[in-house]
Amino acid sequence: MLESLLAAAPVTVVETREDPADPFLFPEEEDVVARAVDKRRREFSTVRQCARAALAGLGLPPVPILPGAKGAPRWPDGIVGSMTHCAGYRGAAVARASEVTSIGVDAEPAAPLADPGVLKLVSDETERTALAALGTRHPDVPWDRLLFSAKESVYKTWFPLTGRWLDFEEARIDLDPHGGFIATLLVPGPTVAGRELTEFRGSWSIREGIAVTAIVLPLTPPAPGR
């Protein structure tokens, strides 16, 4: 899923559909989930096992991966990355900061949003009109769920660059039926390589009941419209 989606990027991906019986946690990580329910503990533990395996692919030793500001993972110096989990899937993507500026990935069940009211909370009228048109042409794709996932990937890419929250209505998603999307920022964006970002470009895929979205922001992002 993520691995095939990001095969062309300088990113190391590790993903799994199963939770190991007793995944390793560092003591500092154990403290984070000491009072967590079993579901939360399994998600937390397995996704960190994926992340450590991905870091090993870059030649790095295992380290604790603790939640930082707003829950964003704190990666080793010189590393950028993103983690995601949903029912039946855990995955992590990492890269060297000398090769990639930021990464955002998200996984969701490949099914329409359970509560139709959620779509109104995470989208604007322009996005909902576009989703309706996509649904008419491609009714087998859960477009509302993909839009939600894309916005999650946008936030995960945005936050390490800014340290600021990004509301759902502050980025407008344009989904391409062929597996891509553009997120237009409706607020001032971060400056990367001397230029203020106005958009993020990502990709999506649906396989085996899981929808994944991903953004890999290069060191020198392309100019808008290219």
Return the structure tokens found at 95.
């890269």
Which residue ranges form the domains of the chain, and what is each CATH number? 2-99 (3.90.470.20), 106-218 (3.90.470.20)
Q: Please list the pLDDT of the chain residue by residue as tens digits (226 residues).
A: 999 999 999 999 999 999 998 889 999 999 999 999 999 999 999 999 999 999 999 999 999 999 998 889 999 999 999 999 999 999 999 999 999 999 999 999 999 998 989 999 999 999 999 999 999 999 999 999 999 999 999 999 999 999 999 999 999 999 999 999 999 999 999 999 999 999 999 999 999 999 999 999 999 988 786 5
User: What are the residues whose beta carbons fall under 8 Å from the beta carbon of 8, sequence distance 6 or more?
Assistant: none
Q: Distance between CA 57 and CA 96 in Å, rounded? A: 11
Residue 31 is which amino acid?
Answer: D
Q: What is the pLDDT of residue 226?
A: 57
Alpha carbon distances (Å) from 125 to 74, 129, 131, 169, 189? 35, 6, 10, 10, 22
The pLDDT assigned to 225 comes to: 65
The residue with tokens 């039946």 is: 88
Asked if residues 130 and 181 have their Cβ atoms less than 8 Å apart, the reply is no
Whole-prediction pTM: 0.96
Q: From the centroid of its chain, how far is CA 142?
A: 17
